[in-house]
Amino acid sequence: EGGEPAVQEQQQVVNVAHRGASGHAPENTMAAFEKALEMKADYIEIDVQMTKDGELIAIHDTTVDRTTDGTGFVGDFTLEEIQQLDAGSWFSEEFAGEQIPTFEEIVDTYRGKVGLLIELKSPGLYPGIEEKVANVLMERNMHRPDNNKIIIQSFNHDSVQTSKQLLPNIPHGVLAGMSWADVTDEQLQEFAAYADYFNPNRNFVDKNLVERVHQAGMDIYAYTVREQEHADQLFEAGVDGIITDFPEYVYDFPGQK
Ligand code: G3P
Ligand code: CA
């Protein structure tokens, strides 16, 4: 048969900047989120925790020790106290004085400019954090079905369910560490009852897992890529998104825009 040339199937992979472009700037700071935007990431991933006085902030560890010049548990600081810490110098002197941002500041700066992949980090330590996050989004009318490019995820699947009940129109994801490497189809079905994404550690991702997650009706974003080779492997496996410290690793696939 002659006629039309075959149209190349094009695979688009969503590029998620992990804690911002955290390979290039201190994680979970405005500098890292800004860098992600410059690098044209599709989403920024944000770790959300709560201060002693109930304010939502972006930080990964449950202590401030690794990423600031302070010491102690996040939940033992007030917002005013935690914002006096230097969250940039540990990464490089160029970022000295960078502050821990509030979740609201991040939302107000980036809504409509880049997708937000919001992780509820250690929510068991912060009762009511799901409601607080929901309120921030609802106050801004960001909880409606046409507001795509917002996803809420957690390793704590009870917290994901709580959040999904508060925000039924916002897509949610279950994070899955290595203890889920042997996840069954039945378990995937159970996740799919409330989650739209199954977001696993990249170490147990292969084509078969991707197919099974799709079969269950979810998308799959894998974490965390810090090497080009790992991005290539995930692309080959057919994931929908790649969560990476280096957004530049997700540009060079055939068909990628
Ligand atoms: O977005 C997924 C990834 O961030 C989960 O691991 O420890 O970097 O928050 P972690
Ligand atoms: Ca995270």
Is the beta carbon of 45 within 6 A of some atom in ligand 1? yes
Structure tokens belonging to residue 40: 């044209």
Q: What is the mean pLDDT of residues 123-134?
A: 98
Is the beta carbon of 98 within 6 A of some atom in ligand 1? no
- Name the nearest CA neighbour of 172 among 153, 200, 192, 191: 153
18 belongs to the catalytic site? yes
CA of 47 to the centre of ligand 2 (A): 5
Q: What is the tens place of the pLDDT at every residue in 172-192?
A: 999 999 999 999 999 999 999
How far apart CA 247 and CA 40 sit, in angstroms, is 8
Mean pLDDT of the chain: 94
Structure tokens belonging to residue 143: 């909880």
Domain map of the chain by residue range? 16-131+143-217+229-246
pLDDT at 12: 86
Domain covering 16-131+143-217+229-246, topology: TIM Barrel (3.20.20)
User: Is 90 exceeded by the pLDDT of residue 20?
Assistant: yes
Residues in the chain: 257
60 belongs to the catalytic site? yes
Which protein residue's CA is at the shortest distance from atom 7 of ligand 1?
Answer: 60
Whether residue 68 has a cis bond before it, omega within 30° of 0: no
User: Is 70 exceeded by the pLDDT of residue 4?
Assistant: no
Which atom, in ligand 1's list, is nearest to the CA of 47? 9
Q: What is the mean pLDDT of residues 86-112?
A: 98
User: Is 60 exceeded by the pLDDT of residue 1?
Assistant: no
- Name the nearest CA neighbour of 198 among 209, 186, 182: 209
| Complex ipTM > 0.85 | yes
Q: CB-based contacts of 25: which residues, under 8 Å, 6+ apart?
A: 31, 32, 34, 35, 91, 95
DSSP 87: S
The half-sphere exposure of 146 on its side-chain side, counting CA atoms within 13 A, is 1
Which amino acid belongs to residue 68?
T
DSSP 137: H
User: Is 50 exceeded by the pLDDT of residue 2?
Assistant: no
Q: For residues 48 and 120, is the Cβ–Cβ distance under 8 A? A: yes
pLDDT at 6: 47
How far apart CA 58 and CA 111 sit, in angstroms, is 16
Is the beta carbon of 223 within 6 A of some atom in ligand 1? yes
The H-or-E segment that residue 139 falls in is: helix 129-139
Of the listed ranges 84-93, 124-133, 147-156, 213-222, the one predicted with least confidence: 147-156
Q: What is the mean pLDDT of residues 141-145?
A: 85
Q: What is the mean pLDDT of residues 84-91?
A: 98
CA distance to 8, 33, 36, 37, per residue, from 110 (Å): 34, 9, 11, 9
Confidence of residue 143 (pLDDT cuts 50, 70, 90): confident
Strand ranges for 107-251 from DSSP E: 115-120, 150-154, 172-176, 197-200, 221-225, 241-244
Confidence of residue 252 (pLDDT cuts 50, 70, 90): low
How far apart CA 160 and CA 144 sit, in angstroms, is 18
Strand ranges for 51-201 from DSSP E: 56-58, 115-120, 150-154, 172-176, 197-200
